[in-house]
Amino acid sequence: MLLKVLFCPTPLSLNMTLNGTCLALRQVGRAASRLPCRASPQLLGLVRRCSITTSASNNKGNPRQKERVVILGSGWAGYAFANTLDPAKYERIVVSPRSHFVFTPLLASTAVGTLEFRSVLEPVRRLSGVNFYQGWADDIDFVRKTVRAEANTADDLASKTIVLPAGGGNYPKQPGIKGEVFDVSYDKVVIACGSFSQTFGVDGVREHAHFLRDIGDSRRIRLRVLSLFEQCAHQRTDHNASAAQDTESRRAGHLTNEDRRSLLHFAVVGGGPTGIEFAAELHDLIYEDLARIYPDLIQFVRITVYDIAPKVLPMFDKALSKYATDHFARQGINVRTKTSLSRIRLAPNDLGREHGGLTLTLADSDSTEIPAGLVVWSTGLMANPLISRLASKSFPLSTPSSEPPSSEPPSPESSLALDPKTHLLLTDSHLRARVNHPSDPHATLDDVFVIGDCAVMESQPHLPKTAQVASQQAVYLAKQLSARAVGKKTFKFRNWGTLTYLGGWKAIHQSSADELKGWVAWVIWRGAYLTKSMSLRNKIMVPFYWITSWLFGRDISRF
């Protein structure tokens, strides 16, 4: 049965020669690599998907025969939605500044070289039958049912975290980059454009800190860490230099041991899962791999996690959080809670000019200054500026139509409803966008849906802003739309628990049902991620890289 289905897309005669078998194997691989990953139901859907692709491309320019759903974003929410929505019933168009989905739980592993970058990416163009426009959604006209976007095919920009400048101006464009503006009309629109990184207005974060939300960030961090070691190794002749020798080195323009201590200080700001996992993975890289290659430098290495809160990993209970802190203490990773930064700048000496060394200023009474070679910033999220722009628009309350408003008496004006606390878009329990209505407190826009980080459900306002919530909302909504059953079943979040890797092959896991730590958690952690949201290709690649990194060490080449 499986074979039969897999052979349908192209008329291959099922000959059993070696050649035939090879070709068949390849057919299966290539087809499956374009499929969503949850095995059999999707495999069986292959024939349908492929035929849709063809008919969709034939239909271009012709009147549309299927309802068009425009999806803004290609993160956990947008990608999972596009992947799940029935292509037989809807035309799917994804508009996103980045051309891929990033499997974020493994991003920290790519930043230290345990995994190769590509193994955590799923290109949107691999989703068979999905149309893709690479661009930033700038605005939505709810009356004409049109999304206005600015093209963005500058991939370097697209794959790194964009941070708003103080004051919020100049978004989303970068200086000198202006893409073509284009409109995409929709029958239904799904707003899944996520959130921005929060810098709390700390001076210098945007310019000097690294983020860890996209693959370009990860690549830059990997290069920087390895390059810092190379720079510190250069001309290293005596690892027990006296102060007098250090002065001599400095006079000769060489790095002193004090300089090495500054550059090999790795600062992580934010004690949530991203910050903690990065610190843990970095520790593994340094002590498992770099210690063999640069043994003399290990004495200078320090890793510090800064958090403003009294404890890290606030989503874990006290015991697990303490387990994490104790484990870090044993590994020599410093955790400084109740500490925040007021400024990051280039060190005002040769270290800054020639080696990119940084100076962190703590927001304590003494404005303590701390040198560092790398700052990774993961303090939290802020609303995507598109949200406030959409919320500031008013539109007539009558059912939106594709015709411009006629000479009829104008309907009362309304606007999208915002959650007063988070300033995110409010939705009803079916994820439809809520509008402010003078008489109906439950009014919604029936063709506008909001999922993921930019949505707050009126019925469950306290859902965390996590990948789990985003992907569950996406799958729920896609299924409801596919079944043409929107408004029937309400969304229910099922908490699969939270996992955080702590380095040294250990992790902690907590859910409503149980809590785990140590080896067991690590096994669950490694296993669980493989089965979720990944293509068959990456399901093979990820374990392969785990094995090769374990056998041969992480790769240290820099380019």
Q: Count interface residues toward a second copy (CB under 8 A).
A: 67
Q: Where are the alpha helices (DSSP H) in 101-211?
A: 107-111, 155-158, 205-208
| 302 counts as binding a second copy under rule CB under 8 A | no
| 300 counts as binding a second copy under rule CB under 8 A | no
Place of tokens 């310019």: 207
Query: Judged by CB under 8 A, which stretch of 126-134, 192-200, 479-487, 496-504 contacts a second copy?
Result: 126-134
Place of tokens 């049965």: 1
Closest CA to 399 of 446, 336, 350, 460: 446
Angle between helices 76-84 and 467-482 (to 10 degrees): 30
Exposure b/e, 220-232, CB count within 10 A at least 16 = b? bbbebbbbbbebb
Q: What angle do CA 130, 183, 411 make, to 5 degrees?
A: 115
The contact mask relative to a second copy for 207-226 (x = CB under 8 A, - = no) is: -------xxx--x---x--x
| 552 counts as binding a second copy under rule CB under 8 A | yes
Closest CA to 289 of 18, 556, 530: 556
Total count of residues recorded for the chain: 559
**Judged by CB under 8 A, which of 16, 156, 488, 494 binds a second copy?**
156
Question: Rounded to the nearest 5°, which phi and psi values hold at 244?
Answer: -65, -45
The contact mask relative to a second copy for 45-74 (x = CB under 8 A, - = no) is: ------------x--xx-------------
Query: Judged by CB under 8 A, which stretch of 153-161, 191-199, 486-494, 508-516 contacts a second copy?
Result: 153-161
Instruction: Output 214 or 284, the one with its CB closest to a second copy.
Output: 214
Closest CB 108 distance from a second copy, rounded Å:
16
| 526 counts as binding a second copy under rule CB under 8 A | no
**Judged by CB under 8 A, which of 49, 92, 100, 206 binds a second copy?**
100
Closest CB 546 distance from a second copy, rounded Å:
12
Query: Judged by CB under 8 A, which stretch of 29-37, 328-336, 368-376, 480-488 contacts a second copy?
Result: 29-37
- Please classify residue 438 by burial: count the beta carbons closer than 10 Å to its beta carbon, then call 0-12 exposed, 13-18 middle and 19+ buried: exposed
Spatial neighbors of 255 by CB under 8 A, at least 6 apart, are 231, 232, 234, 235, 236, 249, 263, 355
| 522 counts as binding a second copy under rule CB under 8 A | no
Closest CB 498 distance from a second copy, rounded Å:
28
* 3-state DSSP assignment of residue 286: helix
Closest CB 402 distance from a second copy, rounded Å:
18
Which tokens in the block code for residue 51? 């035929």
Q: How many Å apart are CA 41 and CA 513, to the nearest integer? A: 29
List of residues contacting a second copy (CB under 8 A): 25-26, 29-30, 32-33, 57, 60-61, 99-100, 116-118, 121, 123, 125-126, 132-135, 151, 153, 155-156, 158-159, 180-182, 214-216, 219, 223, 226-227, 230-231, 233-235, 237-239, 253-254, 293, 295-296, 354, 536-537, 540-541, 544, 548, 550-553, 555-559
